[in-house]
Chain A
């Protein structure tokens, strides 16, 4: 089927939110590099941060093919209100409990989103989804093992993770904020949409967490933290961007 302007707009919106989520979370998670709780975990967490930034680059490259600026310009020169990331990913790293729970929630959503995109009609996106399948599988494996181990660990660890789940759940639901192009994306076979993704995600993470012994807030009564997809962000994103672009901004035209 021939794409209309609305389809292309919808596709770009989808790509931006995916890439922005990946970049910002990868950036956040890289803050742990060298400061993690166990040397081996430090290495693992850093790899996953790199994977995320690398995946964001691949998606910005697709956007570039669709006529958007090159990845460095897009990532390193926009302001917060031009970013489409969810609020979940922009919050500071906090303590390791929050970082792990965010990682668990995000990576399961990411895995399902990419799985859904493995059959998209947008060929370069389909290829990206296939290319990163292994990386993402490791991410969810890592997250699951940690959630399980900390549930079985001490009273403190179980309580910390439980608290982080409670505090993060609404933010996590914010990942599935519908775009203005849900119908177009579906009809064109680009993407089945945020609602489908959200249902699949809930069906995955809720039983999993419950099987580890955690409780999960009720998704039907939790008010999701929306706004990020529309450029309305927390107070944390602009300072993050100022920091990330500090060197680049010295001379955006220079080759770094």
Chain B
């Protein structure tokens, strides 16, 4: 579950970082991408391409692993067999996605251990949305439906990107996400069409999650930094606003269809432009949360630290330091 998020670039425009690259190799690399061909791990690639891809795949992987926590909040309390089994399978899938994405990132030479350390040290980021608490059962339904829906919009676009291993991982992931989306929708529909208590529960969850969902696709194009090169390299596959618009177009009508409301009186589709208009979410809050000050940042990382620590004796017992580590091939 990963949104368009923040492939930030330490504030520097990417273009300036290609100046040291061999122009002939760079041209061949760009021509390959322009032709719709994929880049494989062993290919020559600009250092900046590699860096941005590792960052993106890593953020994506972390988002899966951390994303398992808000929904996991309800794993022991899912009501009834149908939900209990499905939620277990869904949280499991997120871990599976994390595994696939870490492997894809490892093909470029960053080890799982390094990535995990950067996560728990707060050095690398994950989708902001997972720093919010899942207060009620209905939160887990809203996450499963709408966060996964947002992630699918982003992931389907990214699966047409240029890096072979990432595309392959995303192909598998997207197939599984369609189960998540169906499950989440089913779950929200049951609550929205259920008893007054259930309905109030899901409306409340929706109210609380709306801003994080709007944040999920990253800052407005007006505010986000240079991305042309990343778009040309097919690292970034769509603008944040385009992705957000696509999501709104697909899901707002479905939400309204259930008689649920969204906490933005200005939200509407401009029929002339075909684009959705809305109150700009508070990007200050977004930055605050990214920088560690969200409601759950601290807990999320502490939980990961503890989980790694608890598993250490198992791994230590089995590891073979004398063996050579090789990057996964593909």
Contact = CB atoms under 8 A, between A and B. Distances in A.
A25 interface: no
Nearest to B94: A34
A256 B79 contact: yes
B222 interface: no
Contact of A53 (B88, B98, B99, B194): B88
A25 B94 CA distance: 22
A247 B137 contact: yes
Contacts of B88: 30, 33, 46, 49-50, 53
Interface in A234-256: 243-248, 250-251, 254-256
Interface residues of B, number: 43
B265 to A, nearest CB: 31
B95 A254 contact: no
Contact of A46 (B84, B91, B310): B91
A65 interface: no
A30 B195 CA distance: 29
Given A40-B99, A251-B195, A34 B89 contact: no
Interface string A37-75: 111111100110110011001000000000000011001
Contact of B76 (A30, A37, A96, A153): A30
A206 interface: no
Given A43-B92, A57-B81, A149-B318, A256 B313 contact: no
B317 A154 contact: yes
A153 B318 contact: yes
A76 interface: yes
B79 A248 contact: yes
B92 A46 contact: yes
Interface string A147-168: 0011001101100100000000
A254 B74 CA distance: 18
B81 A42 contact: no
A135 to B, nearest CB: 13
B190 interface: yes
A243 B76 contact: yes
Contacts of B314: 37-38, 41, 96, 150, 157
Contact of B195 (A37, A75, A254): A254
B96 interface: yes
Given A150-B318, A245-B79, A247-B74, 20 more contacts: A30-B75, A30-B76, A33-B92, A37-B314, A37-B315, A38-B315, A72-B80, A96-B314, A150-B317, A154-B316, A156-B316, A157-B314, A243-B77, A247-B78, A248-B80, A254-B195, A254-B197, A254-B198, A255-B190, A256-B79
A36 interface: yes
A21 B78 CA distance: 18
Contacts of B98: 39
Interface residues of A, number: 45
A39 B195 CA distance: 39
Interface in A199-256: 243-248, 250-251, 254-256
Most buried by B among A31, A33, A76, A150: A33
Contact of B85 (A40, A50, A95): A50
A251 B194 CA distance: 11
A157 B310 contact: no
5 contacts: A34-B69, A71-B81, A157-B316, A243-B76, A251-B195
B134 to A, nearest CB: 12
B3 to A, nearest CB: 20
A35 interface: yes
Contacts of B307: 34-37
A138 to B, nearest CB: 15
Most buried by A among B77, B79, B89, B197: B79
Contacts of A103: none
A34 B311 contact: no
Nearest to A57: B81
A92 B303 CA distance: 18
Given A39-B98, A43-B92, A50-B85, A33 B72 contact: yes
